[in-house]
Structure 1
């Protein structure tokens, strides 16, 4: 395990998560897959994403949209069990799936697809997010695409998303641990990561109140595109 690389990944991902409410898994998973076995990387990501959401939620709980949160949770319950089937895939197809998902998500976000809010769409977003959490530890893309096309304010988006992540990451990791167990390296990496997650949260809160939303979006799009292409190339080239 490359400890310095792990620290850099977690610090960057937690800063983005604290700034936007999204992004921890999206920014961490592609690089964690280069350091760990896919199952270890996914479980580590879910555990850390749960911890960071728990750290954040109390302070921002007052702006949570409870009605939206309930629909996301209900939808996610329909997606979690099918997602566990993807979790058992071989490493290479799993990495290709993640890289393609990131590229598609980035293109949809960059083209600013407009989505009209509705109860049914929020349920569908929950289904997709639940599926992606248990399968690849990445609940964020469906929510990012949906919220990018709505007119909700950034504080409500961030708090509702974080509250949802508390639920879906907890359910996902419990299911994975019950069905597949874990390895010692997952827990060792978790202990190493926690202090740098705390630092990332502090940095992210500092950035949030000074945030230029357009500049941040451009940076995230570039990072998403780079990580997806990099992961795809390394997966296809490395035997």
Structure 2
């Protein structure tokens, strides 16, 4: 039953990522916490997110904003070691609370009318937050998602730029975690088990994308995020 739940989470998260351009790590990581250990959940997410980003890179790389990408990467560099420290010291209960409140805040922010216009300082700042989020909880998505929803630039360019950033941040974060805390065999087993479902989700998502508006799936994703955040917060508070 645990395997079925694991594969279902990977499929749905991949589907949402393929259709909307966001959603895999934001949805997969918190849900995986209910099935596997935090360390395994984060590292499995980093591996699968990197593979997923790489699988669609060819079709988007020409659209990216190289200047914005450089600023995001530069900003992420000081954030990466900060995230590693948090990864090593935060316990499971606090970990769930952090992710729960982050998801809740980001979802509310995205649904609000607030807009953020891209600038050099904001690119670097968001990159720093994304770096810390990735090495600590395996999710660069929350600060990036909150930022780009109000960005005044072509959506194709935004998607390609953030995707290129994900390729960098996921790979570097995984290497850093592997060096600092190692990688359990269970992480590789779960990742290999998920790969066929991951590619099935990509193919299915590309077909569905042509038939159903992405706005429908955005609403589904936001609903899932709110429910997931509530479940994590309630579960963590019940353990105090």
Query: What's the TM-score once normalised by structure 2's chain length?
Result: 0.95
Q: Which deviates the most, 226-235 or 174-183?
A: 226-235
SS of the aligned residue for 2:60 comes to helix
- 1:18 is matched with 18
1:93 aligns to what? 94
Deviation at 1:236, TM superposition (A): 2.3
Give the distance between the partners of 2:198 and 2:110, measured in 1 at CA.
Answer: 26
Per mean C-alpha deviation after superposition, the further-off stretch among 210-219 and 181-190 is: 210-219
Where 1:59 maps in the other structure, the secondary structure is coil
Q: Offset of 1:203 from its aligned partner?
A: 2.1
Pairwise CA RMSD: 1.5
| Alignment correspondent of 1:49 | 49
- Runs of 4+ aligned residues of structure 1 deviating over 6 Å after TM superposition are none
Give 5+ residue unaligned stretches, structure 1.
none
3-state SS of the aligned residue for 2:4?
A: helix
Give, in angstroms, the shift of residue 226 of structure 1. Answer: 0.7
Moved more, 112-121 or 102-111: 112-121
Contiguous gaps of at least 5 residues in structure 2: none
| Contact kept in structure 1, 2:20 and 2:214, CA below 8 Å | no
Query: Per-residue displacement from partner, 1:87-119 (whole Å, max 9, x unpaired)?
Result: 011111111111010011111011132112211
SS in structure 2 of the partner of residue 58 of structure 1: coil
Aligned to 1:115: 116
Deviation at residue 133 of structure 1 after TM alignment: 0.1
Per the TM alignment, residue 206 of structure 1 is displaced from its structure 2 partner at its CA by 2.5
Alignment deviations for residues 107-152 of structure 1 (CA, whole Å, 9 cap, x no partner): 1011132112211111111000000000000000111111111232
CA deviation map 1:164-220 (0-9, x unaligned): 110000000000000100111111100110011101111222334445343333222
- In the TM superposition, what is the alpha-carbon distance from 1:9 to its structure 2 partner? 0.4
- State how far apart, in whole Å, the 1-side matches of 2:14 and 2:221 are: 13
Within-5 A mapping of 1:128-147: 128-147=129-148
1:5 aligns with 2:5: yes
In the superposition, the TM-score normalised over structure 1's length comes to 0.95
1:159 and 2:190 equivalent? no
2:31 maps to: 31
Counterpart-to-counterpart distance in 2, 1:48 and 1:146: 23
Q: Deviations over 1:12-61 (max 9, x none)?
A: 11111122222111110111001111111111111111111111112221
